[in-house]
C-alpha cells in the first residue's frame, strides 16, 4: 500500500512540461491531485490517465487563468468549498517572453507574465501556507530558474520575475525554519518543454543544450520531499554556474547571458560555403606562389628576371581572369538568392 494515499497535492501548470512530469510523480506516489490551469480538457484527460495508471482516487480540475486579478483567491475558495486539504502546493505555471524590453516586447504580455509568475504564485503561497502552518504540516515547491540568479538581457522581465520567486522562497525558508512546513525553490537550466516556443525564443543559442524535463521534475520532487531549500538539477555543471553567478561581476554575467540569449547564426548555404572555400584556397595559393616567386626573382640573373617579368604579366592577367570569374560566381549567387527571396515574398503576398 502506498504511504501517501489520502494526501493531496495541488499543482499549477500540470498540462505540460515540468509541471506534467511533477504531477506524474505525485500520482505514482499515490497522491490525490488538484490540477489548476487554463486547459481543463487536457487536465481532465491527464487525470483519467493517472487514475487508470496509478490507481489514485481523486483528481479535481480547476479551470483558471492564473494571470487574472485575484485568480489565486478564487482557486483557494474553490478548494475550500470542496472540503479538500492541500498537503503539497506546487507553483509551476509560468511563462517567458523574448525580446528587447524597450522596443520589442509587448506590455500587455509582460503585465500578464508578472501577474502569473509573481502575483499568483505569491497569493497561492500566502493562502495555502496559512492553513499549513495552522496544521504545522505541509510542503511547497516554487518554480524559479537558473536565470533567477543572473541578469538576462532579451528576457529581462522574465528573469526579474524568477529572481523574485527565488528570493521570496529563500526568505520564507528562514521564516519557516522552526516549523514542520517546508518550502523549496527549483532552479532548472534551459529545459526541453514548450516554454521557449511560447516565449518566442525557440531560435536562441541557449536552446542548443536542453535538459530533460523528467530529470528536472525528479530533482525538484526529491528536494521537495526531503525539505531542502533549493534544487539545481543537472549536476556539477549547473552547480558551478550558480557559483559563477555569485562571484562574477553583474556586467560580465549580463554580457555572457546576452550572448546565450542571442539568435543562432543562420546556417551558411551550400553555395555560400563553396564560394568561401574557393576564395580561401585561392588566396592561400596566391600568397604561397607570391612568396616563392619573390625569392626566385631576387636570386635570378638579369636575363631570367626579364623572363620572370614577362611570365608575371601573363600570370597577373590569368589571376585577374580567375578573380573576375570568382567574383562572377559570387555576384550570380547573390543575385540568385535575391531573386528566390523576392519570388517567395511575392508568393506569400499573393497568399495573403
Ligand X SMILES: NC(=O)c1ccc[n+]([C@@H]2O[C@H](COP(=O)([O-])OP(=O)(O)OC[C@H]3O[C@@H](n4cnc5c(N)ncnc54)[C@H](OP(=O)(O)O)[C@@H]3O)[C@@H](O)[C@H]2O)c1
- By CB under 6 A, name the one of 10, 23, 56, 66 that touches ligand X: 66
Segment near ligand X (CB under 6 A), from 54-62, 63-71, 274-282, 322-330?
A: 63-71
d(CA 12, CA 206): 25
- Please select the residue that binds ligand X; options are 90, 92, 129, 169, rule is CB under 6 A: 92
Among 124, 190, 224, 257, binds ligand X (CB under 6 A): 190
15 touching ligand X, by CB under 6 A? yes
Tell me if 65 contacts ligand X by CB under 6 A.
yes
Q: Is 16 in the site for ligand X (CB under 6 A)?
A: yes
Contact pick of 67, 150, 182, 204 for ligand X (by CB under 6 A): 67
Answer for the pair 86, 138: CB distance below 8 angstroms, yes or no: yes
Options 23, 34, 61, 93; binder of ligand X; rule CB under 6 A: 93
Kindly tell me which of 253 and 275 has the beta carbon lying closer to ligand X. Answer: 253
Rounded CA separation 213/158 (Å) = 19
Q: How far is the CB of 24 from ligand X (least distance, A)?
A: 13
Binding mask 137-176 for ligand X (x = CB under 6 A): ------x-x-------------------------------
Identified binder of ligand X from the candidate list 94, 151, 220, 233, rule CB under 6 A: 94
The Cα–Cα gap between 167 and 149 comes to 9
**Distance separating alpha carbons of residues 21 and 34, to the nearest angstrom:** 15
Does 317 participate in binding ligand X (rule CB under 6 A)?
A: no
Report the 3 state secondary structure along 200-246. CCCCEHHHHCCECHHHHHHHHHHHHHCCCCEECCCHHHHHHHHHHHH
Distances in Å between the Cα of 76 and the Cα atoms of 66, 71, 131, 286 are 12, 9, 11, 77
CB neighbours of 165 closer than 8 A, spacing ≥ 6? 117, 118, 121, 142, 143, 144, 145, 148, 185
**DSSP of 145-171, one letter per residue?**
-GGGGS--TTSHHHHHHHHHHHHHHHH
Tell me if residue 308 is catalytic: no
Torsion (CA) 285, 286, 291, 293 in degrees, nearest 10? 110
Smallest separation (angstroms) from ligand X to the CB of 218: 14
- Quote the CA–CA distance of 273 and 342 in Å, as a whole number: 22
Half-sphere exposure of 79 (CA within 13 A, CB side): 26
Stretch that binds ligand X, among 13-21, 46-54, 269-277, 312-320 (CB under 6 A): 13-21
* 13 is a contact residue toward ligand X (CB under 6 A): yes
Angle at which helix 17-28 crosses helix 40-54, to 10 degrees, equals 30
Which of 7, 19, 98, 172 binds ligand X (CB under 6 A)? It is 19
Stretch near ligand X under the rule CB under 6 A, chosen from 49-57, 89-97, 274-282, 338-346: 89-97
Q: Could you say whether residue 39 binds ligand X (CB under 6 A)? A: yes
CB 18 within 8 A of CB 211: no
CA–chain centroid gap for 126, Å, is 28
- Annotated active-site residue in 31, 76, 98, 158: 158
Give 63 or 329: the residue with its C-beta nearer to ligand X. 63
Q: Find the shortest distance in angstroms from Cβ 23 to ligand X.
A: 10
Asked whether 90 and 11 are in contact (CB, 8 A), the reply is yes
Cβ-based nearer residue to ligand X, 44 or 194 = 194
Q: Which residues are catalytic?
A: 158
**Chain residues in the site for ligand X (CB under 6 A):** 12-13, 15-19, 37-39, 65-67, 92-95, 116, 143, 145, 188, 190-191, 193-195, 198
Amino acid at each position: 500500500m502506498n504511504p501517501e494515499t489520502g494526501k493531496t497535492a495541488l499543482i499549477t501548470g500540470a498540462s505540460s512540461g515540468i509541471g506534467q512530469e511533477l504531477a506524474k510523480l505525485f500520482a505514482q506516489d499515490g497522491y490525490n491531485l488538484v490540477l489548476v490551469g487554463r486547459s481543463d480538457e487536457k487536465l481532465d484527460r491527464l487525470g483519467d490517465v493517472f487514475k487508470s495508471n496509478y490507481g489514485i482516487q481523486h483528481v479535481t480540475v480547476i479551470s483558471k487563468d492564473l494571470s487574472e486579478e485575484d485568480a489565486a483567491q478564487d482557486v483557494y475558495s474553490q478548494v475550500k468549498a470542496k472540503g479538500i486539504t492541500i498537503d503539497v502546493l506546487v507553483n509551476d505555471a509560468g511563462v517567458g517572453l523574448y525580446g528587447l524590453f524597450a522596443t520589442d516586447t509587448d506590455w500587455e504580455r509582460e503585465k500578464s507574465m508578472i501577474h502569473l509568475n509573481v502575483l499568483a504564485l505569491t497569493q497561492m503561497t500566502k493562502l495555502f501556507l496559512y492553513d499549513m502552518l495552522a496544521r504545522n504540516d505541509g510542503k511547497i515547491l516554487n518554480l524559479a530558474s537558473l536565470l533567477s540568479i543572473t541578469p538576462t538581457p532579451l528576457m529581462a522581465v522574465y528573469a526579474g520575475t524568477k529572481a523574485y520567486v527565488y528570493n521570496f522562497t529563500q526568505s520564507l525558508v528562514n521564516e519557516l525554519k522552526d516549523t514542520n512546513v517546508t518550502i523549496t525553490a527549483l532552479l532548472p537550466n534551459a529545459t526541453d518543454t514548450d516554454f521557449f516556443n511560447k516565449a518566442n525564443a525557440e531560435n536562441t543559442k541557449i536552446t542548443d543544450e536542453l535538459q530533460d524535463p523528467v530529470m528536472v521534475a525528479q530533482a525538484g520532487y526529491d528536494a521537495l520531499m526531503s525539505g531542502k531549500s533549493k534544487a539545481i538539477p543537472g549536476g556539477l555543471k549547473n552547480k558551478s554556474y550558480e557559483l559563477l553567478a555569485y562571484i562574477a561581476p553583474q556586467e560580465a554575467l549580463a554580457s555572457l547571458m546576452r550572448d546565450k540569449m542571442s539568435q543562432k547564426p543562420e546556417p551558411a548555404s551550400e553555395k555560400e560555403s563553396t564560394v568561401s572555400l574557393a576564395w580561401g584556397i585561392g588566396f592561400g595559393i596566391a600568397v604561397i606562389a607570391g612568396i616563392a616567386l619573390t625569392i626566385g626573382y631576387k636570386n635570378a640573373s638579369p636575363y631570367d628576371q626579364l623572363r620572370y617579368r614577362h611570365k608575371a604579366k601573363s600570370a597577373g592577367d590569368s589571376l585577374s581572369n580567375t578573380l573576375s570569374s570568382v567574383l562572377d560566381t559570387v555576384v550570380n549567387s547573390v543575385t540568385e538568392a535575391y531573386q528566390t527571396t523576392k519570388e517567395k515574398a511575392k508568393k506569400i503576398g499573393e497568399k495573403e
